[in-house]
Structure 1
Amino acid sequence: MRAALLDSVSASVSSAPVAVYLPAVERTYPSELAAAVARGAVVVDIRESGERAVQGTLPGALAIGAELLPARLDPTHPGRLALATDRDREWILVSARGAETRRVVLDLRRRGLRRVTMLVGGYAAIRSADLVGAVTAAQHVAEDVARVTAH
């Protein structure tokens, strides 16, 4: 009797649907953007050029297509950005609305980049919170301006 009971429990458990949970993605909220930039985070605008043309630019952000990010942000890749100095560099990815960024963040984290986050709400959230200029205070922007104006 007990064996039959265990078999029926096993059968009902094995036929039950299994919930699959995707890994959590770290997020940066628009209200945290200025503080993140002040501590050295680099904002990367992954919107397509057509989206940027229609929606507006994000001054101070690096505009890099999502398909190029693994090569550009990986410090061991020969095609990396000069800012990609180590796997602990903080990167904040901005898409049009935010949801598209999840997959990209997960891919970069699988590749060993530990501090990649997505901006909740994407560019639309930045614009509605009137934070489009928040990224221009980034350290890399100041360094670029200093290099250009020094010549």
Structure 2
Amino acid sequence: MTEVVAPGIDALLEQARSGVRRLTPEETVAASRRGALIIDTRTEAQRREQGELPGAIVIDRTVLEWRLDPGSEWRIPEATSYDMEVVVVCRQGYSSSLAVATLRLVGLWRTTDMIGGVEAWQAVGLPLNAGPADVRT
């Protein structure tokens, strides 16, 4: 039996982040102010524990591409153009990078994520809300 040599998650993450300028929490705030969509993919339990990201739209990772693709019949109303700026945020900044890679494959070329996720947001003292969140299903 031949053993399969897989590159592993670290190589996949490096590939996903290649050519993407990721944002700090402060840069994410600035992006939001200029009209970027801030998308929170954390689970309900994570949001309950950490708090809600102000101004973010919560979209479950399992339907993210369908909700943000302007050509999808299941898109959210804010998904108006492949040129829109999108910042994906997760808990620590790992799964958001993988999400960015697939959103870019869909055609959303201005999509990026936040370095360190909500944990980095908290570390620099930016505010979180108690809720309610803008959850899209």
- TM-score band by shorter chain is 0.7 to 0.9
Is 2:57 aligned against 1:65?
A: no
Tell me which residue corresponds to 1:22: 15
Which consecutive aligned stretches of 4+ in structure 1 deviate over 6 angstroms post-superposition? Answer: none
Using structure 1 for the length normalisation, give the TM-score.
0.70
Using structure 2 for the length normalisation, give the TM-score.
0.77
Residue of 16, 25, 40 corresponding to 2:35: 40
C-alpha displacement at 1:57, in angstroms? 1.2
* Alignment size in residue pairs: 116
Structure 2 unaligned blocks of 5 or more: 1-10, 129-133
Is 2:98 aligned against 1:89?
A: no
Provide the C-alpha distance between the structure 1 equivalents of 2:51 and 2:80, rounded to a whole number of angstroms: 29
Letter paired with 1:114 = W
Q: Specify which structure has the higher proportion of helix.
A: 1
Residue of 16, 27, 31 corresponding to 2:26: 31
Select the structure of larger CA radius of gyration: 1
What's the RMSD between the two structures over aligned residues? Answer: 2.0
Structure 1 unaligned blocks of 5 or more: 1-19, 134-140, 142-151
Sequence identity percentage: 37
C-alpha displacement at 1:31, in angstroms? 2.2
Letter paired with 1:130 = G
Secondary structure of the residue aligned to 2:97 is helix
